[in-house]
């Protein structure tokens, strides 16, 4: 029987036939968590962030080669090829993205140094830094049924990069697809043992065994999320709980748009796509369609015309553009919500089994047609702002002016994403700034960006995914931000030299080692954080200023007009700031070929004091941090990035300029 010793039966969404069953009976959940903490955690923490990121890159390549099998299994969920692409290849793409983000934005260390040094004393003998280290627990990911691959991959990627092993609990109805991918991940051997575990079926007493070092993420209904978040152990131990819940997302057609405008067609197309993609089973789907009173009928006509052409049935049929919901249970829930909405809204199309179903094997158990409702007075009823039909269902509602559109959007009490379709920039600004507090992401769509826009319902790895209020109050993705969710931020106080030893990053005031060998003559491995070169000196002349002005074309008055310069904040003619740093490069650069392959960046430049004619400058160049890089196939030499702290001082030992120089330095080893 379902839910008993045989486990919970799972059915094919198109044919209704039983395909498998799942059960977690006999699993010791305390041991599952301990295994992750004691085996997976130490193995991940022994790796640097770049090594973890490269493991994800290799894993993404591995899974991509086996995508056809995942597509085959995904068809059981009723997904079309396009739906599966988002889930499977979109999920794998997230691994690639986080691998790239981590190697670009983080050091090649097991931890992260965040922000600059905080000077805490007058003589700079007492200072502070912020570091982020991996939590010593596991990340438990409780996922929804609608994206069994992407929903898992977008969460485990930042967790593994952070150095925290993951335990994945997919929704039962589509767990077989998640299981197929996890089985392949484990078989690949590309992740350390214990880095990833899967639980299919019930969770039993799993939450009772979580500790303060664990992290829980949840995606699903707001009701279930609230229940889990209120678990006594989660509250008692203050366990981080990140919730991303389904929300009543809106799409607003600007008042400035008229039928016939490109933006009108974009709006209709975007709404129809979001209603039917994944059969509307997306937490980001458009549920509320906001248009002016004048636009209402043209929009209804256009939407009905477009939605009526959507072929519903077995995705295996070439003409089908929308498949079923996951199962009969989901269909019953959607229909019940539609009936609730219809009590206060007008049902314009759909909402019944009276539609053509394509495909000989398709049974109506899980199929539901595109359904459009109209709420004539959306301020008079709460129904369309509180009842969500998690399927191909949306409600159109009119507004009077942009201010009313903002108020209607806010009635959803927090959304993952909202859209504004308009070419009027001022209108877009008014609506976005008015609604941003209620949304985790806002899309402004017009003819200029439509061709390359990723659309309303597409969370991206580098952008925040989450939202306030009903949307769960959590945050996922967002690039580097997502990795930091699984790490502990700690402020460390001490002498600059102690902080350098901890962070492996030089800061002002720390001990340095003056080097006899020019640092540009050293390979990457030979350079040490704190190695310093103090250069010879150069006196700035009027000829320097004149020549640089002629070469650069910069004839700003402070450099050339003696009388005007006296009245300026400088009080005299001064050298160009860019001449000063160019002259400094001449002081510290070793011109001969050597291990330094290229200078490819300058960051954090600040001009502190003016440099005038007769002033003498000197450069102090210190190894600030080192980032080892993997050797690419097209590169002749293995190399690493060395960040140099450059300080330019004058004859009074006053700092006149500060900046970082980034160089690519050859490594001795491959």
DSSP 590-636: --S-SSEEEEEEEEEEEE-S--BTT-EEEEEEEEEEEEE-PPPTT-S
Nearest in space to 296 (alpha carbons), one of 267, 337, 332:
267
CA pair distance 552, 555, nearest whole angstrom: 8
Give the orientation angle of helix 425-435 with respect to helix 402-410, to 10 degrees.
30
How many Cα neighbours within 13 Å face the side chain of 318? 0
653: tokens are: 């030992």
Query: Residue 349: which residues within 8 A CB-CB, separation 6 or more?
Result: 304, 307, 308, 369, 370, 371, 372
415: tokens are: 């959304």
3-state class (DSSP) for residue 560: helix
**What DSSP element (H or E) covers 296?**
helix 293-307
645 φ, ψ (degrees, to nearest 5): -85, 120
**Contact of 455 with 431, CB cutoff 8 Å:** no
CA pair distance 520, 542, nearest whole angstrom: 31
CA pair distance 36, 135, nearest whole angstrom: 12
Catalytic residue among 154, 244, 476, 647: 244
Residue found by looking up tokens 């003998």 in the block: 125
Is 516 a known active-site residue? no
Region class of 195: left (phi > 0), else alpha (psi between -120 and 50), else beta: alpha
Helices (H), 106-242: 150-162, 175-188, 222-229, 232-236
Nearest in space to 78 (alpha carbons), one of 393, 320, 337:
320
Is 567 a known active-site residue? no
Catalytic residue among 149, 250, 283, 375: 283
Residue 40 DSSP code? I
Q: Which residue numbers are catalytic? A: 244, 283
């Amino acid at each position: 029987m379902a839910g008993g010793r045989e486990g919970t039966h799972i059915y094919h969404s198109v044919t209704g036939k039983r395909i498998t069953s799942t059960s977690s009976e006999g699993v010791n959940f305390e041991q599952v968590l301990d295994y992750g903490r004691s085996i997976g955690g130490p193995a991940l923490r022994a790796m640097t962030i770049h090594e973890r990121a490269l493991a994800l890159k290799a894993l993404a390549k591995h899974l991509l080669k086996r995508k056809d099998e995942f597509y085959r299994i995904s068809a059981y969920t009723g997904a079309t090829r396009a739906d599966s692409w988002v889930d499977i290849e979109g999920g794998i793409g997230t691994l690639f993205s986080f691998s790239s983000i981590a190697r670009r934005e983080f050091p090649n260390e097991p931890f992260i140094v965040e922000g600059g040094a905080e000077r805490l004393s007058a003589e700079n003998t007492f200072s502070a830094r912020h570091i982020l280290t991996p939590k010593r627990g596991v990340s438990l990911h409780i996922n929804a049924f609608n994206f069994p691959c992407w929903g898992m991959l977008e969460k485990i990627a930042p967790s593994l990069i952070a150095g925290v092993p993951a335990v994945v609990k997919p929704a039962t109805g589509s767990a077989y697809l998640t299981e197929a991918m996890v089985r392949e991940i484990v078989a690949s051997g590309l992740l350390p043992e214990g880095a990833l575990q899967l639980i299919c079926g019930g969770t039993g007493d799993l939450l009772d065994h979580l500790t303060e070092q664990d992290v829980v993420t949840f995606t699903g209904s707001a009701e279930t999320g609230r229940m889990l978040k209120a678990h006594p152990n989660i509250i008692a131990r203050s366990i981080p709980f990140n919730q991303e819940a389904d929300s009543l997302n809106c799409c607003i057609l600007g008042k400035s748009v008229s039928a016939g405008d490109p933006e009108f067609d974009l709006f209709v197309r975007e709404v129809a796509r979001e209603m039917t993609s994944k059969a509307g089973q997306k937490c980001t789907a458009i549920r509320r369609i906001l248009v002016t009173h004048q636009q209402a009928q043209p929009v209804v006509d256009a939407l009905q015309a477009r939605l009526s052409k959507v072929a519903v049935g077995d995705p295996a049929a070439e003409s089908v553009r929308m498949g079923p919901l996951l199962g009969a249970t989901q269909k019953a829930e959607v229909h019940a919500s539609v009936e609730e909405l219809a009590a206060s809204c007008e049902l314009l199309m759909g909402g019944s089994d009276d539609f053509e179903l394509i495909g000989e094997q398709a049974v109506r158990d899980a199929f539901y047609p595109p359904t459009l409702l109209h709420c004539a007075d959306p301020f008079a009823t709460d129904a369309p702002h509180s009842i969500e039909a998690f399927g191909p269902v949306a409600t159109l509602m009119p507004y009077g002016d942009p201010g009313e559109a903002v108020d209607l959007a806010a009635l959803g009490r927090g959304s993952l994403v909202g859209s504004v379709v308009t070419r009027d920039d001022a209108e877009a600004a008014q609506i976005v700034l008015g609604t941003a507090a209620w949304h985790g992401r806002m899309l402004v769509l017009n003819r200029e960006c439509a061709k390359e826009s990723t659309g309303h319902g597409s969370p991206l790895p580098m952008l925040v995914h989450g939202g306030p209020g009903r949307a769960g109050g959590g945050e996922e993705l967002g690039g580097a931000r997502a990795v930091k969710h699984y790490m502990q931020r700690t402020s460390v106080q001490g002498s600059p030299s102690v902080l350098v030893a901890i962070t492996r990053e030089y800061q002002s005031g720390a001990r340095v080692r003056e080097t006899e060998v020019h640092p540009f003559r050293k390979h990457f491995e030979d350079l040490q954080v704190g190695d310093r070169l103090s250069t010879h000196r150069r006196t700035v002349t009027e000829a320097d200023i004149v020549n640089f002005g002629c070469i650069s074309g910069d004839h700003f008055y402070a450099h050339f007009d003696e009388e005007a310069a006296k009245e300026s904040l400088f009080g005299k003619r001064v050298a160009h700031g860019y001449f000063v740093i160019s002259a400094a490069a001449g002081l510290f650069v070793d011109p001969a070929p050597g291990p330094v392959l290229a200078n490819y960046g300058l960051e954090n430049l600040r001009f502190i004091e003016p440099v005038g004619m007769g002033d003498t400058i000197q450069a102090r160049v210190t190894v600030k941090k080192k980032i080892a890089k993997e050797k690419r196939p097209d590169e002749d030499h293995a190399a690493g990035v060395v960040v140099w702290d450059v300080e330019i001082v004058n004859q009074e030992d006053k700092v006149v300029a500060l900046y970082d120089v980034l160089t690519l330095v050859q490594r001795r080893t491959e």
